Structure formats: structure tokens, C-alpha cells
């Protein structure tokens, strides 16, 4: 046998062994760990669909309280724990995770991701133009109104078209009229002291997000329009239009029990409100400031593969199935009716969603479609977002309880700029 033939045979055998080895690896059963802040029932449909498609891969879900997600990621990913494979990631926290090395660039997937998402959604997946997360869920808001309370006050039902959108000033006037006719409260937000839902007040009046400068690491919450927006928010509680002293978790039941005329909340409230005994309600677009622009909050969880996953190839299969595959992306919302970011999955979702809620489903579909397309604005992307959100949520709580607007904003701005300067 010549040396050339021997070399060729050796190469062929090596290639064959390599092939067998790779096939053997792919044939082995693998168990992935997915962490999220959701209950098991929420992710059960997508896990079942994935395991049916890839029978050699099992998925174990670990549900972690929302308040503990950051600490968990810090401790486990920061400690290079290989037992986490795929994780839910709150979009505004992505820059901080990137700065700590918890996320890897996904630029090699740009060609697959870009056609499936809106430009706003793509920005939320990226830091400085580089994609780091996969598109999972988004969110929007609408205004619910109690038909019986409006009937008693002689108030016509608000329309569901974009041109029917009322101003905050009109809503306050109508709320006081409804209260005069018997409503306990006139108007409230579902998340009364959380930045996510209150950001549109300030964006609508032209105040900005509250963060500015390079990397959004400078606080700007004392300009005239921030003061104007904060004074409006504070006056809702001072005037008794909105409920003061009620914990966030008890706000939706106030509307379900027929105690609130107007309520701004997410589409995830439709199911509970439709099941509320005796509640007759409709939906309309979120109000805006007169002279300003309509703005609605958006954003939710994105998905990421841990850089320390023991099974990176299988983990990426799961992550792509949950986000880029329309069937998989729809399965992620089947037990939790929040919009998927994947536009093809959204087309499936929105018709399914509208059919679920007789009487209001088509109006909700119309509102959600144009709000996500035309008025949605993301929370600011910043390595300092966690600190910003914590301070702002406290500010809104203080304003709700009667704190003076200007000194409260000034104190918060000083505190934020001191904290953010250390991040810079």
C-alpha cells in the first residue's frame, strides 16, 4: 500500500469517526434549563411543542420571582454557572448585562431576526447597534371603560379608532362627571407607581424619557415638561380621581368590581374583566396630552442563551424555536395573551386573540395593532436602567402620596446623577 493510499485511508477513517461522534452527540438525550419569571403553565405549551419537534431534548423550566430575576442572573451567570441554558431577559436591562459579559453578540442571526421584527423592537434587542437578544414578547396598553358608570353619568362611550383618542384633560373632566354620578373613582392606571406604564405621560407632553446623554447615563427629570407631567399625575390622587393608598395588586379588582370609570391597563386584563360578574366594559386608545403626541409603552421579555450553557447548540435550537419560528413564538403566548414580537406570529396571535373576547375583541385588535405600529416607545436602554427604575418607582409612589412635585424631582435627579456617574 503506498503512503498516499495509507494517508487517504487514515483521513477517511478519521472523518468517519468524527461523523459518528457528532451523530452520537446529537442522538444523546439532553435536558435544558429555561429560567423565567413566569409560572410553569405559561411556558408549558411551547415546551411541549419543542419537545415534540426535538424528542431527544427535554426542557426543565425554573420559575423565579420577577423581583429576584436580576439577582439570580447576577449570581448564576456571573458565576459562570453552566446549569442555565436559556433565560428570559427584561429588555432595558440588556445594556448592563452586556457590560458584564452575560450576553454574547447575535449578529450572525441578524439576517433571520431583522425581517421578523419592527425597527423599534430591533432597537430593544440591541446595544450600540449590535444584537444581543432574541425577540420574544412585547406589550401595549389600552383604556378600559365601565359602560354602566358612563351610562349613569350620560357620558358617550369613547371610540376605538385612533382619531377617537381622548386627551388626559378630557378624561379627568369625564372622570369627575362619572364620580358625581356615583363612580367611586374616575380614572387610574393599572400600575400606578411603575415607570413602564407612566413613561407615556412624560413622553406625550414632550418631557423625554428621563435619561439622556451618552449611554442614557444622565438623569433629566426636572425640565418644565417633566414637572408638568408629574403635576398632572400627582393631581389625579390629590383630587380623588385616582385611588390613593391602594396597593398596585389591588387596583385591577377595583375596575372589575365596578368602582372605576376609566382604567389604563394591558390586554392581559381582558380575560379577568370578561369573567367579572356584572361588569360591562369597552376599550379605547390610551389618552394623550393636549398639544402633545400619542405615546404607549411597549417592551417585555426578550430571550437569551447563556454564554456558559453546557449545551449551547441545543439551547440555541430552543431559543430560536421560541422566537424566530412563528409556530413556536405563538405557543409562548397561548397561555399568556401578550403579543409576540415575531410579526408572523403576531398575525396568528391577533386573530386568535380577537376571537377569544366576544364584544371587545375586534376593538382590542384594532387598538393593539395600531398602537404597536404607530405609538409604541420603549423604555430607555441604559446600563443604569435598573437604578433609574428603582428611583423613579419610588418617586411615583411619593407623588401619589402627596409629596411636593418639584423638590421630589430635584432630589431624585441629584440621587440619580450621583449613582449614574459611578456607572459612567
Provide the residue count of the chain: 424
150: how many CB neighbours lie within 10 A of its CB?
A: 23
- In angstroms, the CA 349 to CA 368 distance is 11
Q: Give me the pLDDT at residue 22, please.
A: 42
Q: Give me the pLDDT at residue 1, please.
A: 41
- In angstroms, the CA 153 to CA 158 distance is 14
Q: Give me the pLDDT at residue 26, please.
A: 54
User: What are the residues facing 187 on neighbouring strands?
Assistant: 262
- pLDDT tens for 303-312 read 999 999 999 9
Cell of 360: 371587545
- From the list 125, 117, 123, 162, the residue with the least C-alpha distance to 339 is 117
Do 377 and 195 meet the contact criterion of CB atoms below 8 Å apart? Answer: no
Angle at the Cα of 369 (from 366 to 373), degrees rounded to 5? 140
CA 36 → CA 86, 184, 230, distances in Å?
A: 9, 37, 33
Stated pTM of the model: 0.85
| Residue labelled with grid coordinates 409562548 | 332
Q: Give Rg (Cα) of the chain.
A: 25
Do 369 and 191 meet the contact criterion of CB atoms below 8 Å apart? Answer: no
Q: Is 300 exposed, middle or buried (0-12, 13-18, 19+ CB in 10 A)?
A: buried
Q: How far is CA 419 from the centre of its chain?
A: 25
- In angstroms, the CA 187 to CA 205 distance is 19
Q: Give me the pLDDT at residue 72, please.
A: 87
- In angstroms, the CA 162 to CA 93 distance is 31
Which residues, given as ranges, of the chain have pLDDT below 70? 1-27, 424
- The 3-class SS string of the chain reads CCHHHHHHHHHHHHHHHHHHHHHHHHHCCEEEEEEECCCHHHHHHHHHHHHHHCCCEEEEEEECCHHHHHHHHHHHCCCCCCCCCEEEEEHHHHHHHHHCCCCCCCHHHHHHHHHHCCHHHHHHCEECCEECCECCECCCCEEEEEHHHHHHHCCCCCCCCHHHCCEHHHHHHHHHHHHHCCCCEEEEECCCCCHHHHHHHHHHCCCCCCEECHHHCEECCCCHHHHHHHHHHHHHHHCCCCCCCCCHHHHHHHHHCCCEEEEEECHHHHHHHHHCCCCCEEEECCCECCCCCCCEECCCEEEEECCCCCCHHHHHHHHHHHHCCHHHHHHCCCCCCCCECCHHHHHHHHHHHHHHCCCCHHHHHHHHHHHHHHHEECCCCCCCHHHHHHHHHHHHHHHHCCCCHHHHHHHHHHHHHHHHHHHC
Cell of 72: 439570580
| Helices 168-180 and 224-238, axial angle in degrees (round to 10) | 10
Q: Give me the pLDDT at residue 366, please.
A: 97
Amino acid at each position: 500500500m503506498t503512503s498516499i493510499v495509507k494517508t487517504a485511508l487514515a483521513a477517511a477513517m478519521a472523518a468517519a469517526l468524527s461523523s459518528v461522534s457528532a451523530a452520537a452527540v446529537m442522538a444523546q438525550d439532553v435536558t435544558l434549563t429555561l429560567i423565567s419569571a413566569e409560572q410553569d403553565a405559561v411556558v408549558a405549551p411551547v415546551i411541549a411543542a419543542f419537545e415534540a419537534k426535538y424528542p431527544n431534548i427535554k426542557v426543565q423550566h425554573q420559575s423565579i420571582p420577577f423581583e429576584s430575576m436580576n439577582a439570580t442572573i447576577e449570581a448564576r451567570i456571573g458565576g459562570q454557572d453552566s446549569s442555565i441554558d436559556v433565560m428570559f431577559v427584561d429588555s432595558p436591562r440588556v445594556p448592563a448585562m452586556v457590560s458584564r459579559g452575560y450576553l454574547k453578540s447575535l449578529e450572525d442571526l441578524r439576517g433571520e431576526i431583522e425581517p421578523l421584527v419592527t425597527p423599534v423592537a430591533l432597537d430593544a434587542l440591541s446595544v450600540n447597534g449590535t444584537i444581543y437578544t432574541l425577540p420574544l414578547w412585547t406589550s401595549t396598553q389600552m383604556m378600559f371603560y365601565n359602560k354602566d358608570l358612563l351610562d349613569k353619568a350620560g357620558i358617550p362611550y369613547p371610540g376605538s379608532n385612533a382619531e377617537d383618542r381622548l386627551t388626559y384633560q378630557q378624561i379627568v373632566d369625564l372622570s369627575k362627571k362619572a364620580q358625581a354620578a356615583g363612580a367611586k373613582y374616575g380614572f387610574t392606571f393599572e400600575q400606578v407607581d411603575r415607570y413602564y406604564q407612566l413613561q407615556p405621560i412624560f413622553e406625550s407632553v414632550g418631557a423625554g424619557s428621563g435619561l439622556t446623554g451618552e449611554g442614557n447615563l444622565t438623569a433629566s427629570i426636572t425640565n418644565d415638561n417633566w414637572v408638568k407631567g408629574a403635576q398632572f399625575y400627582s393631581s389625579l390622587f390629590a383630587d380623588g380621581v385616582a385611588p390613593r393608598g391602594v396597593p398596585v395588586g389591588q387596583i385591577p379588582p377595583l375596575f372589575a368590581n365596578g368602582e372605576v370609570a376609566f382604567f389604563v391597563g394591558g390586554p392581559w386584563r381582558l380575560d379577568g374583566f370578561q369573567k367579572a360578574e356584572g361588569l360591562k366594559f369597552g376599550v379605547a386608545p390610551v389618552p394623550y396630552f393636549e398639544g402633545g403626541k400619542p405615546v404607549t409603552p411597549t417592551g417585555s421579555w426578550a430571550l437569551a442563551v447563556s454564554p456558559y450553557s453546557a449545551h449551547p447548540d441545543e439551547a440555541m435550537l430552543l431559543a430560536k424555536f421560541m422566537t424566530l419560528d412563528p409556530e413556536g413564538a405563538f405557543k409562548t403566548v397561548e397561555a399568556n395573551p401578550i403579543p409576540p414580537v415575531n410579526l408572523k406570529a403576531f398575525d396568528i396571535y391577533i386573530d386568535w386573540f380577537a376571537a377569544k373576547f366576544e364584544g371587545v375583541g375586534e376593538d382590542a385588535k384594532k387598538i393593539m395593532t395600531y398602537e404597536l405600529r404607530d405609538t409604541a416607545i420603549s423604555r430607555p436602554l441604559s446600563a443604569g436602567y435598573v437604578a433609574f427604575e428603582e428611583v423613579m418607582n419610588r418617586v411615583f409612589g411619593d407623588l401619589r402620596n402627596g409629596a411636593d412635585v418639584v423638590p421630589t424631582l430635584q432630589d431624585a435627579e441629584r440621587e440619580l446623577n450621583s449613582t449614574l456617574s459611578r456607572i459612567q
